[in-house]
Amino acid sequence: MARVLFLQHDHVSPPGPLAARFAEHGFDPVMFQIVDAANVATPGVDVTLPSFCDFEVVVPLGSPWSVYDPQLEPWFTQEIAELRAADAAGVPVLGVCFGAQALAVAHGGEVHRGAQCEIGWYEVDSVAPELIAPGWWFQYHFDVITPPAAATELATSPVALQAFSLRRNLGVQFHPEATTELLELWLDPVGTAEVIEAGFDPDALRRQMRHHVDANRARAFALVDAFLATIAAT
């Protein structure tokens, strides 16, 4: 059976509906967590990442850290090397939020702190609606991506690039895996303080998530479908 690797950078980044949809396509979802709850404050753990080339698809997920945080060594250097190896071998990669930022850095792009963060539901404009559905997607990021020179920009919000493709790689800044359960993981308890400090209301985020979650699941499924039919099939 084909296997899809979900690279979980921390203990609160489950793949949610993404894993479910890959499974429906016949993939065996494999989870690999880098940093456990005990090491969140000191994430530079000594770990050997699996070879991305041993999988048919790789999905690096989100993270509470920035890709330029020196605390992430030595494992982040490994991740960049594995993303480059996967690209060279033609292994399709779907990077989500931090995963998209890592993809950009691996292939010559840049990531920096944005002038404005996005937390909550934001409307995304897409020039490739068959791949990235325009409309409402959940965001939780403080950094913005400058894509690799050879990449194709697919979607934007007023604040940041939201999706790009490069060969068999697709990066999305938003969180298609968002669910009510995932939001509670992010808000417990450090995230709540971070959200409030950024000027957002955690209870409003909860209400909005309940409103959007079913539609988001369908959109996440459609994203996986399109990724497999286009990016991964090239």
Confidence check: pLDDT of 189 > 90: no
- Give the pLDDT confidence score for residue 44 in this predicted structure: 97
Catalytic choice (9, 79, 82, 97): 97
For residue 82, indicate whether it is catalytic.
no
- Give the pLDDT confidence score for residue 10 in this predicted structure: 97
Average pLDDT over residues 6-29: 97
- Give the pLDDT confidence score for residue 51 in this predicted structure: 98
Average pLDDT over residues 80-84: 99
For residue 177, indicate whether it is catalytic.
yes
CA distance 80 to 106: 5
Per-chain mean pLDDT for the chain: 97
CA distance 171 to 6: 14
Instruction: For residue range 26-72, list pLDDT tens digits in order.
Output: 999 999 999 999 999 999 999 999 999 999 999 999 999 999 999 99
Instruction: For residue range 139-176, list pLDDT tens digits in order.
Output: 999 999 999 999 999 999 999 999 999 999 999 999 99
β-strand pairing of 3-8 with 57-60: parallel
Largest alpha-carbon pair distance within the chain?
46
Catalytic choice (79, 82, 118, 177): 177
Query: Kindly report the CA angle at 15 between 169 and 176, in degrees rounded to 5?
Result: 65
Confidence check: pLDDT of 185 > 90: yes
Query: Kindly report the CA angle at 184 between 180 and 189, in degrees rounded to 5?
Result: 165
Confidence check: pLDDT of 190 > 80: no
Domains in the chain, CATH or no CATH each = 3-231 (3.40.50.880)
Model pTM? 0.97
What b/e readout covers 17-41, taking b as 16+ CB neighbours within 10 angstroms? bbbebbeeeebebeeebbbeeeeee
Confidence check: pLDDT of 95 > 80: yes
- Give the pLDDT confidence score for residue 173 in this predicted structure: 98
- Give the pLDDT confidence score for residue 2 in this predicted structure: 98
Catalytic choice (9, 107, 141, 175): 175
Confidence check: pLDDT of 234 > 90: no
